[in-house]
Structure 1
């Protein structure tokens, strides 16, 4: 009889212990709904970016690159054709790459891929596109046969060069401000960590 009472007491203590440990365990089952992951989960349009200078400039770049590509595609005869082929490659590449960047920024998809420096990516695309659009437009202007399609392609090529050049200035300023902000934040975190490790009290400004 006594052994039975001790066994019941032991079982009660074990159940209480398991309940306490289960309550304090950090690995508790959660009832929160799991969000839809993936790159396209919960895609929203960033209207603020589309109204910004960089957003509007991106739209102009895509349109100008597309129009320049269409103009060069309407050239029926060329001899030599090196300038035409080079301009065709540059305008098509700029249209595709800039269009992808416009989608990434306007739909806030770049926030899903945080390990890529998108400001630097935008700056590099603008710099490369400016150089090659200018070079392709100069070559096409020197080798064209004074047809309306070639002249139109040259005009839109120089307009695209100007648009990408403005993008360089805006993207460089944004990238510089972002890099300065991140480096300043890292410096403050480092100072705070050293102060805490030495047991010092970080000075706080006195209230006036």
Structure 2
């Protein structure tokens, strides 16, 4: 309940998004050390030097994505799988890609334990997307990039939306909404955010 109040105070008002976030237990996606803080509106550290975003940012990004029940969504940066779990309650299929194999494995095990069968976890370089499954109705990037990656823009369906943090990694970034049109791309700045950088390549650890 406290978490929903925090979400609403940060402008998350879409009832589908709020309901999906209420159904997903964030405690399942944090390390045992931080379980007691799972429902605070703060980012928390996870393995491999990554973070799980604060719920209000997850809610804001999910709301801005504007998903529909039949959508096919690509998430870049699985982490422990919290964002993908929320999306799974909102869309038909979620493809989520992670460069750290242990994180991808952790996410897969948690999603399976929760019975979330419409999520496909992929170990790979998120900056290249998943071209064999494109085009996507929605793309959500959970790591910061200096510019929206060209391969991801190309994998967005006409009429589709991408949400991506843009900016230099050691400064505050700007959350950008990109809509692909028949003539190109429309860009809208949404909010100041701070994310770990999007790194090319795959960590085989």
Query: With structure 1 as the length reference, what TM-score do the two structures score?
Result: 0.25
- The answer to which structure, 1 or 2, has the higher relative contact order (CA under 8 A, 6+ apart) is 1
